[in-house]
Structure 1
């Protein structure tokens, strides 16, 4: 039996061996869910200037981890029985169950049973649905209005519908949408792509008759004159005039708008440029070429393996043996673009040429060279930032490096020479004679500094704000944590104690409280009167959004802000995204799922964390025996979505660590 088949059989069996199912749970938000709802409403109120929430809000924080929707007061509008609930539009919301989509209304009635592979939101009383790779439209009651025979169809009015032969699927694997914008994740990055082709659109009425017959794809040629446009015919692009005659017959595989007077085109897989009359200014002889930019008068190009820069006649200004070359552009505060040379790549390292091709910085850096508004150049090499003048001369003296002179940073800067640090001005001249063993910037006007093994705090002129007599200083501006003889206290910015040193660890929070640890137990203390918000409990504690994480004896528990146990799965690790509704947790080397009421719904059985992120529309990718396979919130396999050797939707967040001090 294959790995994917075995995976699906195992899930089927597990669905009947996990005890209580999600359907058996009460349909009321958990305490976690109520807190998540209030935080969501507060965020919406801030972002929408107090505009009331007049539609139910999707929620998955019910006992059992299924999704429904609730009103602002927490009362249930849609009972929790789905893997995913979308946003409401025209009193309808898309829902997903077992990989298929339907619709509910704002009173919880299922107006369209989940049956479609993809749906869109309602617009003007109609929703786009997909069947067998084709799109149709249904009305508010789920009745088919247009059979699924189109590549794309959407309502643009009560009796007007835009249609296209081109399929417009976007989104991610297993969580597609009709945007046409595809998102792809890897283990450390995310990329977004849109199709190069433009939709062939027409407009029909409710009877299917053409109101505006489909026209060939077209796009802008000259933004100053709409009378001539690029138009596609038979897969090739030409220039069509307003009277319907061709200025240039369709012959180009690719064609772009005029930029600095020339438009880049591709003919027989070679790149050239035409002018505003449609005539070649540069013959199509290049393998690649970048568009011309306004005011530069030159661009980078490649021909027969040789990279260089050409002028607007197509003549080489200079040629190189580099792997890659393209225009280096800086953006100033007014968002205008300022070219400052050419990035080039050689032996997989980056360097910089000036606009005439002279070397400013050799290819020795791990990424392209940046340009600051003050004309400094910044380059990255071996995990260190290096700084240069506009002409390429090092700003840091030999054997030294600047620590905090990034673009936009104001002096003084910190200069490191060997094991010592010093404050310097914009000309790299010492501000004060004092040298330090370490310096950490605290906002604009202060820094923590270490001398003779002790930390203090200095002003921008290098004078002491707080004398160096501490084992440790936190990076909080005011108040901050200070340690003497291994004990932490809380100090004001003027150097006087707010709380005398008596704790083993302290972390200041945003609400004038602090986590404090003593004798292996952590509690929450009010800074103003030193009273306990939460009495110490064994282990450490940290914030996770609207809740707290407590960690002791190798186990993690999620607590309410008042210290009540919200989720305890006897777990070594547990997910912190409470709004997901189902949290991944680790026990004895395997991962399972627990809801926000603390019920273990899927016993540990997977090899990697399992995340029901909202972006994935009610599916999660679970790894078992080397395969990543999609599951729903009931731990069932999703039909029609193939397993994968790699995770199609990895989490890009770093591993969460719960600790009091860095």
Structure 2
């Protein structure tokens, strides 16, 4: 389940209760108003879909119990009353809904609080805030520390916590100190010392210690000892869902197993019924564990007001508590609200009653929580995670193909540009143009869909370069066009490479290479077997008849064709060249700085002291025609930042300084490079250890293998298991992993494998995702494009998503997942073939599968 109740309720309440002053609570006097948007503007409709406040705002939110709604106009936020009158002018960069008579507002990068008249009660000075609670306190952040203020803005509990939650009904608030969670009371006294890895607190608090979940009471005493793999909080009926060995069951407040672990997944109880999954199908159990509605649905949500939303064959409907279909599965999405339901059909939202009759035909772009927000830090159920999009605040054009139509959709699946008869389209580049293909001919369109360059060319590039030119091909000849589609460099070359940083392009005609500038003027005559413009100093490396030389940016041959091999000029103006089988250094005039004499060189060595080989032995030179360390070693490494280099004499390794002094005598079977902290891994008799730059042993050779993660952690293998050491030589994790990987979706995460399953740990020794998945990844077939809010998890051959807190937000049930700038596309081959659809942050379809491709990488 991965705490589905927490995902659907906790996440919702944290994002809205803290971000908007609590869930919707409608006062008796207030009109029945539902946020809605249409054609890019937002307003409010009634339960029949009639506009009560016309669409005129960029974004709106539910009315708070104070009778005000926060609205956005031209990037600024203010408040209106239930008649649509602006009572607080839009002037804030961001805001929350009113809670307990005060609303948090952001101005010039800082947060403060106003009252319902718009008067600033607490001036903006905080970095982040929560809304005020009934106890008159609000959590606020200053200089990366959290504390609590009263309604006058005075600190009642000074900033001292790394994270802090709002106070709950039991008078306690969860706070984090040094990566551990504890609980404080309203005076700031630490009632339960920070000791837990994670917490969920509703009544008894669910806490995690050493990868296992248990429950503590208000005094921090374990009422139920840590023993579960996952755990949710207790519901009003006294039951909580827990996971043991990948199976879910339910316990009571004494820790007794009321419903034995047997389900593949489960949600918490609501109205004494809980959705559970068996063999890929969802049904419902009662509090005794009896299956009252047999598993038959592809997905199910819990009961609200006597109805539960269910999914079948990619469509959503509703059932009653007996299991009868009240609303047949026919909608792309459905969300209950009081005694009505919002339904999505073919990209539009409408309203139906509890019997399934239309009260408002599908006509809205969004309803209720499903509005699209262009603002910042706003919660939206309809986008997978809009706040993590790298294009946040901009129109998103997603390239797709459906049947014989290509074009671009937004994150809700609405067509922005449709091109009938086209086979492929590329992403829009920074200059606002995209490559399109029709009948194997290529052209360019702009973001309005206007054809800027008619399809007529062969494929050479998918975008314009920084000079405003695009390389094109027609009838096997290559040239360049400008943004109007005009040929500015005629179609005349047989082959070419686009313009480099120096403003030159390499071109070939009749087997001869040269260079042109952006006007098409020939700078380097087409007379060479090869040319290369990769040097930043403007020099061009040319080859003819097996000899290499250098041409300047004016096309003049400044270093004659004479070398067998040659490198680019380095930043110090020197280049390695090979003449008569020997290597030396020349300057940009072609003068020999170091006469060719070396058998081998390390072209990529540190510039001050590159390694060179002479008469079968290695030494070091500098760039001033001086051999600083004579050739005497059998193998060498480049100098590290601390001025030391590992060298081998015979079969033994030691190290020297830049003067050639032997700092560590040759004694090891192997020695790596020194790290910035001044230590190096060494091997002796098949075992690995660490020594410092003076040769002092830090860790005796005892391990089977060592590998660096970064400058902070070392992976250690012992007896076939990997562990992690920090640079104080303390265990972060003792050897226990079968394997590890440096690649991870989020900074500081480390992929590990244990007992055949994959999980994530962090650098502090905390489990983020326990090892329970068949694989975890961040791309490569389970692709990610742009900033991604999640990692991909795999179980039993199906893919799902994990968020940055390590929670499974989309359970593994899809065959492929591709995320385009935070919008989640999925394939479910069994149900929909290889067509792509879009899901929200809970895995519910926003757009049912209909696209054959999404953002084809057709240039590669």
- When Rg is computed on C-alpha atoms for both structures, the one with the higher figure is 2
Q: Structure 1-normalised TM-score?
A: 0.46
User: Larger relative CO (CA 8 A, sep 6+): 1 or 2?
Assistant: 1
* Structure (1 or 2) with the greater strand fraction: 2
Q: Structure 2-normalised TM-score?
A: 0.37
